[in-house]
Amino acid sequence: MLIQRGGLKVVAGLGISGVAAVNFLHDQGYRVAVTDSRATPPGHDQIPAEVQTSFGKFDQNLLLSAEEIIISPGLDPKLPEIQAALDQGIPVVSEIQILRRATDKPIVAITGSNAKSTVTTLIGLMAANAGKKVAVGGNLGRPALDLTKDDPELYILELSSFQLETTSNLQAEVAVVLNMSEDHLDRHGDMMGYHTAKHRIFQGVKKVVFNRDDSLTRPLVPDATPMQSFGLNAPDINQYGILKDKDGTIWLARGRERLLKSSDMYIQGTHNVANALACLALGEAIGLPMDVMLDTLKTFKGLEHRCEFVKEVNGVRYYNDSKGTNIGATLAALDGLGMAIEAQGGKVAIILGGQGKGQDFSALRDSLSKYAKIAVLIGVDRPIIEKAIAGTTELVHAESLQEAVEICQKRTQAHDVVLLSPACASFDMFSGYPERGRKFVAYVNELN
The residues annotated as belonging to the active site are 116, 139, 184
Q: Give the whole-angstrom CA distance, residue 67 versus residue 30.
A: 11
Q: Report whether 114 belongs to an annotated binding site.
A: yes
**Closest to 103 (Cα-Cα) out of 28, 199, 7, 161:** 28
User: Known binder of ligand: residue 179?
Assistant: no
Phi, psi of 296 (to 5 degrees): -65, -40
Q: CA-to-CA distance for 85 and 301, rounded, in angstroms?
A: 46
SS3 349: strand
Cα(324)–Cα(420) distance, rounded to whole angstroms?
Answer: 8
89: left (phi over 0), alpha (psi -120 to 50) or beta: left
Strand 154-158 relative to strand 107-111: parallel, antiparallel, unpaired? parallel
- ∠ Cα 151 110 294 (to 5°): 85
322 appears as a binding residue in the annotation? no
Closest CA relative to residue 322, chosen from 297, 305, 299? 305
Residue 118 labelled as part of a binding site = yes
If we measure between CA atoms, which residue out of 105, 121, 229, 218 comes closest to residue 172? Answer: 105
Q: What is the DSSP string of 149-201?
A: GG--SEEEEE--HHHHTT------SEEEE----S--HHHHSSHHHHHHHHHGG
Ligand-binding site membership of 112 (annotated): yes
Q: Is 116 annotated as a binding residue?
A: yes
Q: 319 has which bridge partners? A: 309, 419
Neighbouring C-beta atoms of residue 50, cutoff 10 Å = 10
Closest to 71 (Cα-Cα) out of 88, 89, 83, 61? 83
CA-CA distance, 125 to 134, in Å (whole number)?
9
Binding residue per annotation — 113? yes
Query: Which amino acid type is present at position 230?
Result: F
Integer Cα distance of 146 and 104 in angstroms: 16
State the binding site. Answer: 112-118
State the binding site for ATP. Answer: 112-118
